Chain A
Amino acid sequence: MLSPKQMSRLLIIASKDRMQNVIQELYSHRVFHIRDFVEENHGLSIGSPLPTAGEASSRLVKVRSLESTFGIRTDEMKASKRRSVRELKSIVDRDLNPLQEEVEALLAKKAAMEAELKDQEQRIRDLAPFTLSPLRLEDYRGYESLAVFMGRIGRDVAIAGPHEKVYTPSKDGNFIAVFVPVQAASETQKELERAGFTPIPVPEGVGQPKELMEQSSRRISELKAEMARMEERLVRLREERAEFIAACHELLEMEVEQAEAPLRFATTQEAFIVEGWVPVEEVDRLKSGLSLATDGKAYVQEIHDGEHVPAPVEYDNPAFARPTELLIDTYSRPRYEEIDPTLIVSIIFPIFFGLILGDVGYGILLLAVSLGLRKLLPSGDGRKLLDTMRNGAVSSIFFGILFSEFFGYGFDKFGIPWEPLLYSRHLNIGAEASHEGGHSGPMITELLMMAIWIGILQITLGRLLSAVNHYRHHGIRGVIPQFGWISVMWGILFMLWSMYALPLMPDLTGLAVVAMGLNFAGLLGLILIVAGAIAIFTESALELIEIPTIISHTLSYARLVAVGLSSVAIAMVVNYIAIGMLIGPQLEQLSIMGIVFIVMGVLVLVIGHLMNTALGVVGGGLQSLRLQYVEFFTKFYKGGGVKYNPFGKIRRFTED
């Protein structure tokens, strides 16, 4: 529960001709976390891949290229049936290459068509200016004694000397074609340039530009139809073959992983050695499986030496705590020998979230959102996050009832005689300030003290957990400084209690003064502080500098109240503006303008509360997470464990 799954370290030794059997067996069990062999000078060398590796890899590349062509994402696909490996293998041998060739041919053809489509479109653009003139394309070229100018021009020009001219005004630019004797060419060109002439080359081909353009348009529509057919063919292929491709992917990936496994083994001339970790409860099954697969020709040994090899870490939590593993992984996975805080956080985190966002309305909204989105996300981190949010939402509803809050209103506003069971967070804002019901206003001091108490308890818990961690590592010597920290914290508390009467805290000011102007509690506090400081000193003198963090970390828990109050304040302000100022007064005397105001009021209400919900999730989530990470974890948790990654694959499309 509070520690990761127990692992056994296994050593497997067998002769090389059994390698494939061993690999297959390990792979099918999917429990063995291989410790990669690192070549050192032990006379051992890294193994070489099985002979099937090359073929499988090149096929896998093909499958992946098919996947990217079709936009298939195997991890998001649902398998309708499982195919047997034997059958699939023969289908792969037969079908994979033709399929890939077909798809490649289709793609090549499509690319060629796309190129032609572009060419035809360009031709239409090139021909467009010439459709303005009645001349055929061949009329513009092939002269020896004539110079031809054609292009766009700003205005019509008068040309001196013998010439022939076609001028067509147009919105997109006037078209001009001028035929002059070669001798007059340069002069004519100057003339034209003065009028803003830009030449256009004559497109290739013969005939009427208009007809040519129509030809091209016809070709374009043909091409488009053809491409659509091809696209359809690809879509059909995708539909027919997607699952086959996914199954191929799985099969080939399995083959490649198995074939390349020897790269993680140590080998000699004749034998190989694999080292790794197996969850304790799986050891016997794996052992018997291996002996069956190799006819008892594999030597399997559990190792219990003192060598410090960090075991991989697999969480071992009850189902309700599992979503929280995401939050722990975000910080860092626990190390094997340290306390796994997932369970603790999975209980405390929703409570903090609820304390901050405690509002029945927002809670229901979040619950609906998290349950609704849950259907869209079948698995993975997103779902874990949603489950965490769901837990937070439930806790929010619970605390909402305790705080008597519904979208910022007290329950009494809806005629339900329900006063906050916990301290009231109702602020005196706007109309609420003169609330005739006699709200006493928020009980800020009590709320803050409650938050501080939560902080004191959680920090103490953190230090106790740290004591356990240190005890495992360093024995009783490691425990002393941890109790030193606890002692200093409670010493400070005792001194405070002896001097000031604080709400929700024991009042010890009345005790008789014993010495140094301190009463018994004060003296006890002083002794605790000094003893604690000495205990901390035994670990490291530098740690003493950290003592003020006791106070700052404890006060940091005030955010549980402060962030929550700000969210209440926003909700109440939104209600006040929307209902109190915009909707309420208009409802009393309905008018046209009034309806506009009411619509505006509803908008303010909806947008305001949605925004506040989002802020509440961010505020409630991040702030309470931060309290775990910064204030709680720094006391005892280091993390940095290796993730348990068993050799094998979760199969979804294939079976043996």
Chain B
Amino acid sequence: MAVENLTGLSVEMIEASQMGMTALAAAIAVGSTGIASAFAEYGIGSAAVGATAENKDVFGLVLLLTVIPETIVIFGLVVALLMLF
């Protein structure tokens, strides 16, 4: 009751707002790591295409190098999932 008087918010409202905050935090976790992965893959990807143009044999290797930064966004996704559920 004291909380209600001080802030004019009910407990339910506070809970809902906290859930919203969690969702936002999860979004930031996925979003920012996604940007980071994209940024890392951008450099590797363009170099990879260049290398493949020179020598087709390296395709498998460079494909692999390109997906390595994917780990960043996966960690973000894991954190987000843990936050949400």
Name A residues whose Cβ lies closer than 8 Å to a Cβ of B. Answer: 330-331, 441-442, 444-445, 448, 552, 555-556, 558-559, 561-563, 565-566, 622-623, 625-626, 629-630
Cβ–Cβ contact A565 & B81, under 8 A:
yes
Closest B-chain residue to A326, C-beta based?
Answer: B60
Whole-angstrom distance between the alpha carbons of A563 and B71 in the complex? 11
A626 touches B78 (CB 8 A): no
Closest B residue, CB atoms, query A332: B61
Q: Are A629 and B64 in contact (CB under 8 A)?
A: yes
Q: Are A556 and B85 in contact (CB under 8 A)?
A: no
- C-alpha spacing A559/B75, complex, angstroms: 8
By the criterion CB–CB under 8 Å, are A558 and B70 in contact? no
Residues of B within 8 A of A556 (CB): 71, 74
Interface centre among B60, B61, B82 (most CB of A within 10 A): B60
Q: Which residues of A contact B61 (CB under 8 A)?
A: 330-331
Q: Is B36 an interface residue (CB 8 A)?
A: no
**CB–CB A622/B63 < 8 A:** yes
**B68 to A626, Cβ gap below 8 A?**
yes
Measured in the bound complex, the distance between the Cα atoms of B74 and A563 in whole Å is 7
Of chain B, the residue at the smallest CB distance from A625 is B64
User: Considering only CB atoms, which chain A residue lies closest to B76 in the complex?
Assistant: A562
Q: What would be 8 A-B contacts, judged by CB atoms less than 8 Å apart?
A: A331-B60, A331-B64, A441-B85, A445-B85, A448-B82, A558-B78, A559-B70, A562-B74
Q: Is the beta-carbon distance between A623 and B77 smaller than 8 angstroms?
A: no
| Contact call A630/B82, Cβ cutoff below 8 A | no
- Min C-beta distance of B58 to chain A, whole Å: 10
A427–chain B nearest beta-carbon distance, Å: 8
Q: Which of B25-39 contact A (CB under 8 A)?
A: none
Q: Are B68 and A630 interface neighbours, CB within 8 A? A: yes
Interface residues of B (CB under 8 A from A): 59-61, 63-64, 67-68, 70-71, 74-75, 77-78, 81-82, 85
**Do the beta carbons of B74 and A559 come within 8 Å of each other?**
yes
B64 and A562 form a contact (CB under 8 A): no
- Give the Cβ gap from A492 to chain B, nearest Cβ, in Å: 18
Across-interface contacts of B71 in A (CB, < 8 A): 552, 556, 559
Q: State the CA gap A330–B60 with chains docked (Å).
A: 5
Once bound together, how far apart are the Cα atoms of A563 and B70, in whole Å?
10
Q: A558–B74 contact, CB under 8 A?
A: yes
- In this complex, what residue of A is CB-closest to B68? A630
CB distance from B63 to the nearest CB of A (A): 7
Closest to B30 in A: A566
A486 to chain B, nearest CB (A): 23
B78 touching A562, Cβ below 8 Å: yes
Q: In the bound complex, how far is the Cα of B85 from the Cα of A352, in angstroms?
A: 23
A623–B75 contact, CB under 8 A? no
Beta-carbon contact of A623 and B70 below 8 Å:
yes
Chain A residues in 8 Å Cβ range of B82: 444-445, 448
Contacts of B77 in A (CB 8 A): 562, 565-566
A562 proximity list for chain B (CB < 8 A) = 74, 77-78, 81
Query: Which chain B residue shows the least CB distance to A331?
Result: B60
Closest 8 pairs between A and B when the two form their complex, measured CB to CB: A330-B60, A562-B77, A559-B74, A444-B85, A558-B78, A444-B81, A562-B74, A562-B78
Which of A552, A561, A626 sits near B67, CB closer than 8 Å?
Answer: A626
Bound-state CA distance A609–B37 (Å) is 25
Query: Distance (Å) between the CB of B3 and the closest chain A CB?
Result: 28
Residues from chain B with a CB closer than 8 A to the CB of A442 are: 81, 85
Of A448, A561, A622, A626, most B-chain CB atoms within 10 Å: A626
Q: Which residues of A contact B67 (CB under 8 A)?
A: 622-623, 626
B72, chain A: closest CB distance, angstroms: 11
Q: Which residues of A contact B60 (CB under 8 A)?
A: 330-331
**Assembly CA distance A622 to B59 (angstroms):** 13
Q: How far is the CB of B74 from chain A (nearest CB, A)?
A: 4
Please, which residues of chain B bring their CB within 8 A of the CB of A561?
78
Nearest Cβ in chain B — how far from A505, in angstroms?
16
Q: Is B74's CB under 8 angstroms from A630's CB? A: no
Closest to A618 in B: B67
CA distance A629 to B70 in the complex (A): 14
Provide the bound-state CA to CA distance between A445 and B78, in Å: 10
A622 closest partner in B (C-beta): B67
Residue of A nearest to B66 (CB): A622
A630: chain B residues within 8 A (beta carbon): 64, 68
- In the bound complex, what is the Cα–Cα distance between A556 and B77 (angstroms)? 12
Report B79 CB to chain A, min CB distance, Å: 10
Distance to closest chain B CB from A423 (angstroms): 12
Residues of B within 8 A of A563 (CB): 74
9 further A-B contacts with Cβ under 8 Å, apart from A331-B61, A448-B81, are A331-B60, A444-B81, A555-B78, A558-B78, A559-B70, A562-B78, A565-B81, A626-B64, A626-B70
Chain A residue with Cβ nearest B82:
A444
Closest approach, in angstroms, between the C-beta of B26 and any C-beta of chain A?
A: 12
B75 CB to closest chain A CB, in angstroms? Answer: 7
Cβ distance B22 to chain A, nearest Cβ, rounded Å: 14
B62 to chain A, nearest CB (A): 11
Nearest residue (CB) in A for B80 is A562
The CA-CA distance from A133 to B56 in the complex, in Å, is 62
Cα distance, A441 to B74, chains bound together (Å) = 20
Is B75 in contact with A558, judged by CB distance below 8 angstroms?
yes
Chain B residues with CB under 8 Å of A623's CB are: 67, 70
Task: Pick the most buried of A448, A565, A629: most chain B CB atoms within 10 A of its CB.
Answer: A629
Give the Cβ gap from A648 to chain B, nearest Cβ, in Å. 24
Cα distance, A552 to B68, chains bound together (Å): 12
CB distance from A411 to the nearest CB of B (A): 21
CB distance from B19 to the nearest CB of A (A): 12
Question: In the bound complex, how far is the Cα of B82 from the Cα of A558, in angstroms?
Answer: 12
Q: Which residues of B are found within 8 Å of A552, using beta-carbon distances?
A: 71
The interface residues of chain B lying within 8 Å CB-to-CB of A565 are: 77, 81
Given contact pairs A442-B85, A623-B70, A626-B70, A448 touches B64 in the complex (Cβ within 8 A): no
- Minimal beta-carbon separation of B51 from chain A (angstroms): 15
- Docked CA distance A623–B63 (Å): 11
Nearest residue (CB) in A for B64 is A629
In the assembled complex, how far is the CB of residue A401 from the closest CB belonging to chain B, in whole angstroms?
A: 23
CB distance from B1 to the nearest CB of A (A): 31
**In the complex, what residues of A have CB within 8 A of residue B81's CB?**
442, 444, 448, 562, 565
How distant is A341 from chain B, measured CB to nearest CB, in Å?
A: 15
Closest B-chain residue to A619, C-beta based?
A: B70
Contacts of A330 in B (CB 8 A): 59-61
B residues in contact with A625, CB < 8 Å: 64
Shortest CB distance A279–B (Å): 26
Please give the distance in Å from B77's CB to the nearest CB on chain A. Answer: 4
Q: Residues of A contacting B63 with CB < 8 Å? A: 622
